[in-house]
Chains A and B, each alone.
Chain A
Amino acid sequence: KDKTKDHDEL
């Protein structure tokens, strides 16, 4: 999974 696409945390 591409981690750069889910920086969903603040």
Chain B
Amino acid sequence: MNFFRLTADLMHLLSIFVLLLKIQKTRSCSGISFKTQLLYAVVFVTRYLDLLKWISLYNTLMKIFFIASSIYILYLMKIKFRATYDPSQDTFRIEFLLGACLLLALVFNYTFTFIEVLWTFSIYLEAVAILPQLFMLSRTGEAETITTHYLFALGAYRGLYLLNWIWRFYTEHHIDWIVWVAGAIQTALYSDFFYIYYKKVLHGQKFELP
């Protein structure tokens, strides 16, 4: 564990709490892509099939939290606050993402086993899981400030993981190409968002696309 990785994980936790706060406070999931949240649930379930493998208490508790919270968010969006979800805004085709990631995982993996291919699939899928949300944002052209805080925390978590990998490369000679490439793509997807967040939200303005 190092500073960057711990901070990254905490930003990831924070992003989920901000999302839960947004839904509970406004009693609405408007502006949130159900498809992105569904993809995250798939990511956590397929990645943490090794839940029973002991790495550390931290590792196990975080895995349980990520699986449980992602499913709880699906429950909030699909059942509790269903009326506030507008599917006509959430039109990104996730079938292509799922198919492409599965295909890539079958071809580019470390070991061709069931658990390992699904782990790889989850890494690729996480890289693109934010696309339906960003697509929704670009369609509506604006977002509630708290929703942008959620996206910022999520993007910061990914950016900090890049720093963690650089750190681990120099201190432990840790190399993980699959995670690096997927992580770099994932972080790059946030660049436009970061720019507008910095220009508008941090200066007290509403998040609106130019």
Q: A-side interface residues toward B, CB under 8 Å?
A: 2-4, 7-10
Contacts and interface: CB of A to CB of B under 8 A. Distances in A.
A4 B50 CA distance: 11
B59 interface: yes
B63 interface: yes
Nearest to B177: A3
Contact of B111 (A4, A8, A9): A4
A3 B119 CA distance: 12
Chain B interface mostly: helix
B110 to A, nearest CB: 4
A10 B116 contact: no
5 tightest A-B contacts by CB?
Answer: A3-B110, A4-B111, A4-B116, A4-B110, A10-B62
Nearest to B9: A10
Nearest to B5: A9
Contact of A3 (B5, B55, B113, B176): B176
B179 interface: yes
Interface in B1-23: 5, 9, 12
Contacts of A7: 50, 119
25 contacts: A2-B110, A2-B111, A3-B110, A3-B111, A3-B176, A3-B178, A4-B110, A4-B111, A4-B113, A4-B116, A4-B119, A7-B50, A7-B119, A8-B55, A8-B59, A9-B5, A9-B161, A9-B164, A9-B179, A10-B9, A10-B12, A10-B59, A10-B62, A10-B63, A10-B66
